[in-house]
Amino acid sequence: MNNKDLKHMKSDKEKNLPINSLGILETLNKHLEDYLNLLAQNLTTERLSQLILKEFIDVSNLFITICDQEYNKVQTGKNLDFTTIHSLHYLLAELFKDTMLIHRDVLLQVHISQNKKQESLVDEKAVLNHLKESKAILEKAINSLVQKISAERNPLQHTDKKRKKLISKAKHQQNPWEVYKNQFLTIQNQAKEIEKSTQTLSDVILIFKDIKNHTQTICSTLINELESSKQTIAMVMDSVKNLDEPVKTSDTISIIEDILDDLDLKNPQQESYAFDIESKIAALKENNIPVASEDGLLLIKKINFNKSAKKWLNYMLFPDLIELWQNRVNLIAFYKHSLLNLKSSLTLLKNNNTLETLPSQVQSLQNLLQSVNTNEKLQRKIISQVQENLNSEFLVTNIYDAEDFLKVSLQSSITQLTSSKNNFFLDVEKRIKNLQSFFSTRYEISTVKSPFKKLENASKCIEYRTFKASNVHYDTLFLNKNFIGDLFLVPRESEKQKLQETLNLWKKGHSKAILVVGNNLSGKSTFIESVAKDYFDKQSIVLEVDSTISVEGRKFKTTKNLAEALQHIKKHTYNFKPLLVIDNLELWRDKNHSFLNNVRAAIEFIESESDQVFVIMTTSNAMQSHLDKRLPFSHSFSSIIDVNKAKVDEIYKAILLRHGASHRSLVNEKGLPLLNKQLELYVQKLCRDYDYNMGEVLQAWTYAITTADDNNVVYQEKEYEFEDFFNNEEIIILKYVLLYKHINEIVLKNFLGKQYDSSFKSGLKRLTNTKVFLRNPEGNLVLNPVLYHNIREILKYRGVLN
C-alpha cells in the first residue's frame, strides 16, 4: 500500500468521525500550543506568575467550557458524540487536572523563591536557575498533554470495535465531569490565594526588615558611643600627659567638666524601643498562608504574625538589648566616677601647686580606657549574636519550615535558611495518587476561646492547685518556707561558694555588699538564713519593716523608713562587724516614705559602711531590672547572686528529703510503687515547666499528690492550664503586685484618683473573687502563690515585664 492509498483511507476515516470531535480537540490543542509559545519566551519570575494566573487560567476555562457543552448534551440526550465525551470527561480531564496541579505547585514555589529573594536568602543566580527549572517542568507537562490530545484526534485510534466499547462505557458509567469541574475551580481559587498571600508576605517582610534596620541602628549607636568615649578618654589623657605646671590643670579640669555635662545615664532609645516596635508590628495580623503541597493537598498555615513576632522579640531579642543597655549604663557610671575622681585629684594638685601624683592619674585613665575596650568587646559580642538571630531566625519565610513559625525554644534556635540548603520546588512530575482528596485544604487547628471559657478554665486550675485539708501534713513539708534542721536544707553549693569568696575579701578589709536576686519562691530567704547561721552566728541583723531589732543591746523599732533604721545601725556598729540582711527590699515603702528614697538610702549606706558591715540585700529579678532603669542599682553591689534557678539534682534531692520525712510510700494512680526512673522523669518535667525554680517545683509537686489512707501518697499529674483572661487594667495591677508584693484598695485609689472607680475597681474586685489575689493578715492583697509562675509568664508575653 503506497502513501497515496494511506492518505485516501485516512480521509475516509475522518469522514466517519463526527466533525465536532476533531474541531474541539484541535481548538484546545491550538490554545495549548499558543500558551507553550509564551512559555518559551524569555520570562521573569513575575511574568511567569502572571502567565500562569492569566493565560493558563484562560486555557483551563476554555477546557471547562468545552466540557460543559458536552456534558449538557449528555443531560439532554441530543447530538451525543460518545467518543468526544469519553475523551474529554474520562481521559483528558484527568490529565488536564494533573497539569493544573503542576501549575499550581510551580506557582507556589516561584512565589516562595520571590519571598526568599526579598529576604536576601537567595541570590539572583539561584532565582534564575529556579525559574529555568520551573519553565522546563511546565513545558514538559504541556507537551505531554498536547501529545495525548493529538493521539485522541488520530482517526486510526478509533476502530468500530473500540468506539462501541466507549459508547457502552459512557452509557453505563456515571459521568465524572461535575466532580472534575469542582476540582478545577478549586485549583483556580488556590492559585489566586497563592498570589494574594504573596503580596501579604511581601508587606510582612518589609515590616520585619524595618524592625531589623531599627535594631541595627540602635546597635550602631551604642558602638559609636563607645568609639566616641575612647576618643574622649584619649583627649583627656593627652591633656594630662602634657601638664608641665600646676596652673595648667585648670584647662584639663574644664575639659573634664564639659565631658561630665554631656554624660547622661538616660537612654531614650531604651525607653522608646518597645513603643516603636509595637507601632511597627501593629499592622500585622492573622493570615492563612499556603506553604507547601503534599500528595495533591495544598497545605495552609494559619499564622498570627503580630502575636508570633511579638513573642519572639520578647524572648529572643529584648533580653540581649536590655543587656546592651545595662552594660552601657554600667560603663557610663564607671566613666563618670573615674572622671570625677580625676577632677578632684587635679583640683588638689592645683591647690597644692604640685604635679607629684600626675603619673598615677595617667595610669587611672589607662585603666579606664582598658575598661572601655573590655566593654566594647562584650558589646560587640552581644551585637553579633543579635544580628545572627535576626538574620537567621527573624524571617518571614520561616513559615515554609516544618517547625512552628518563629518558635521560641530554650534548647535550640530555628534552623537557618540559606540558598545552599533549600530546594525550591517539589518533584511535580510524580504521578499524584488519591485523586478524591486532591483538593482538600488542610488548615492548622485554631480555636478562639471566649473570655468566659478562659475564666472557667483558670478557676478550675486554681481550684486544682489550692491547698487541700486531707494533704495538710504532707503538703506542709513542701510548702514550709523555713528549712527544718540542717539535714532538711539542700545547699546551693555554687552560690554559697561565690558568697564565701566575697566574704573572705570583706574580712580582709575590702568594702563588699551582695545582692541576692530571684523570683518568688526561689529560696532567697532560705539562702541568706543559711549564710547567717554558717558564717555569723549571732552577729547578724535582720532588718524587716515594722519589727524590732537589737544592735549592741540597743533596741530599735523599725517603720517603713529604711534610712532611719540604717542610721541607727550605723551609730552602733563601731565595736563589731555584723552581717546586715535587708530581705525583700520592695516592702520598704508607704505614703510617707517612697520606695526610691529608701533604695537611695540603702545605696548610700553600702557606699559608706560596707567595709564595717557585710550587707546582703534581696529582691526579685523584675525589681532589679526596674531599679536599674532608674538608678545605678546593681552597680552598687560588689557581687550579685542569682538563686532563681536551681540545679535538677538539687531540686530532686529536696523533693526526696521532704517526701522521706513524711514516712509514706509514693505510688502511681494504679497503686504501684513509683520507680526511681519515673520519679526522675516527673521531677525533670516539673523543673522544665517551672523554669527550675526550687520553691515553685516543690509547690507544684503537691498539686499532683493525694494522700491515701494506707500510708501511701498517690502521684497523679493532671493538666489544668491557667488561661490569660485579664483585661488591660488588671494587667497593670498584676504587674504592680508582682513587683511590690502587695497592694490595697486605698493605695490604688490614692494613686489613680477618679480612674480607680471608673476603670480599676471592677478589675481589682474580679481578681479578688477569682482568688488570683488573696488577702493577708494585714489586709493587703497579695498574689496567690500557686499562680506566681503563670502570672509572670503572662506579663512577659504581654510585653509589660522584662
Question: What's the pLDDT tens digit per position in 607-665?
Answer: 888 888 899 999 998 888 888 888 888 888 988 999 888 888 888 888 888 877 778 88
Burial of 394 (0-12, 13-18, 19+ CB in 10 A): buried
Residue 709 to residue 711: CA distance in whole angstroms: 6
Q: How many CA atoms lie within 13 A of 252 on its CB side?
A: 30
Would you list the DSSP string of 768-800?
A: HHTTSEEE-TTS-EEE-GGGHHHHHHHHHHHTS
Closest CA to 711 of 765, 758, 673: 673
Band of pLDDT at residue 164, cut at 50, 70 and 90: low
Q: Kindly tell me if the per-residue pLDDT of 18 is higher than 60.
A: no
What dotted CATH number matches 728-798? 1.10.10
What HEC string does 197-217 produce? HHHHHHHHHHHHHHHHHHHHH
Residue 118 to residue 206: CA distance in whole angstroms: 9
Residue 325 to residue 327: CA distance in whole angstroms: 5
What HEC string does 43-93 produce? CCHHHHHHHHHHHHHHHHHHHHHHHHHHHHHHHHCCCCCHHHHHHHHHHHH
Burial of 303 (0-12, 13-18, 19+ CB in 10 A): buried
Q: Kindly tell me if the per-residue pLDDT of 485 is higher than 60.
A: no
In the chain, the percentage of residues whose pLDDT exceeds 90 is: 9
Task: Spell out the CATH class of 493-642.
Answer: alpha beta
pLDDT of residue 431: 31
Residue 156 to residue 585: CA distance in whole angstroms: 97
Per residue in 289-312, pLDDT (tens digit) is 898 887 778 888 888 888 888 888
429 grid coordinates: 512530575
Band of pLDDT at residue 481, cut at 50, 70 and 90: low
Residue 297 to residue 436: CA distance in whole angstroms: 11
pLDDT of residue 205: 92
pLDDT of residue 22: 52
pLDDT of residue 271: 66
pTM, rounded to two decimals? 0.49
Residue 701 to residue 695: CA distance in whole angstroms: 10
Tally the residues of the chain.
Answer: 802
Look at phi and psi of residue 285 and say left if phi exceeds 0, alpha if psi is from -120 to 50, else beta: beta
Residue 620 to residue 524: CA distance in whole angstroms: 9
Per the model's pLDDT, the better-predicted residue between 317 and 478 turns out to be 317
Burial of 219 (0-12, 13-18, 19+ CB in 10 A): buried
Task: Spell out the CATH class of 200-415.
Answer: mainly alpha
Residue 321 to residue 227: CA distance in whole angstroms: 19
Residue 597 to residue 603: CA distance in whole angstroms: 10
Q: How far apart are the first and last CA of the chain?
A: 92
Per residue in 682-727, pLDDT (tens digit) is 888 888 888 888 888 888 888 888 887 777 888 877 767 788 888 8
Is residue 291 within 8 Å of residue 303, measured between CB atoms? Answer: no
10 Å Cβ neighbour count for 138? 23
Is residue 760 within 8 Å of residue 748, measured between CB atoms? Answer: yes
Query: 551 has which bridge partners?
Result: 554
175 grid coordinates: 459521568
pLDDT of residue 445: 29
DSSP E strands in 613-749: the ranges are 614-619, 639-642, 665-667, 705-707, 712-715, 742-743
pLDDT of residue 155: 52
Per the model's pLDDT, the better-predicted residue between 125 and 247 turns out to be 125
Q: Mean pLDDT throughout 746-769?
A: 82
Q: Mean pLDDT throughout 660-686?
A: 82
pLDDT of residue 56: 92
Is residue 384 within 8 Å of residue 266, measured between CB atoms? Answer: no
pLDDT of residue 355: 77
pLDDT of residue 616: 92
Average pLDDT of the chain?
79
Residue 195 to residue 190: CA distance in whole angstroms: 9
Per the model's pLDDT, the better-predicted residue between 348 and 271 turns out to be 348
Strand 781-783 versus strand 742-743 pairing type: antiparallel
Per residue in 408-460, pLDDT (tens digit) is 543 222 222 222 223 322 333 333 233 223 322 222 223 334 456 677 778 88
Q: Kindly tell me if the per-residue pLDDT of 491 is higher than 90.
A: no
Q: What dihedral do alpha carbons 196, 199, 203, 204 form, nearest 10°?
A: 60
| SS3 (DSSP) at 559 | coil
Q: At what angle do helices 728-740 and 761-769 cross, to 10 degrees?
A: 70
Residue 122 to residue 126: CA distance in whole angstroms: 6
pLDDT of residue 702: 82
Q: Kindly tell me if the per-residue pLDDT of 224 is higher than 60.
A: yes
